[in-house]
Chain A
Amino acid sequence: EIVMTQSPATLSVSPGERTTLSCRASQSVDSNLAWYQHKPGQAPRFLMSGASTRATGIPARFSGSGSGTEFTLTITSLQSEDFAVYYCQQYNKWPPTFGQGTKVDIK
Chain B
Amino acid sequence: DQQVKQNSPSLSVQEGRISILNCDYTNSMFDYFLWYKKYPAEGPTFLISISSIKDKNEDGRFTVFLNKSAKHLSLHIVPSQPGDSAVYFCAASAKDYNQGGKLIFGQGTELSVKP
The yes or no verdict on A and B being binding partners is no
Residues of A within 8 A of B (CB): none
Residues of B within 8 A of A (CB): none
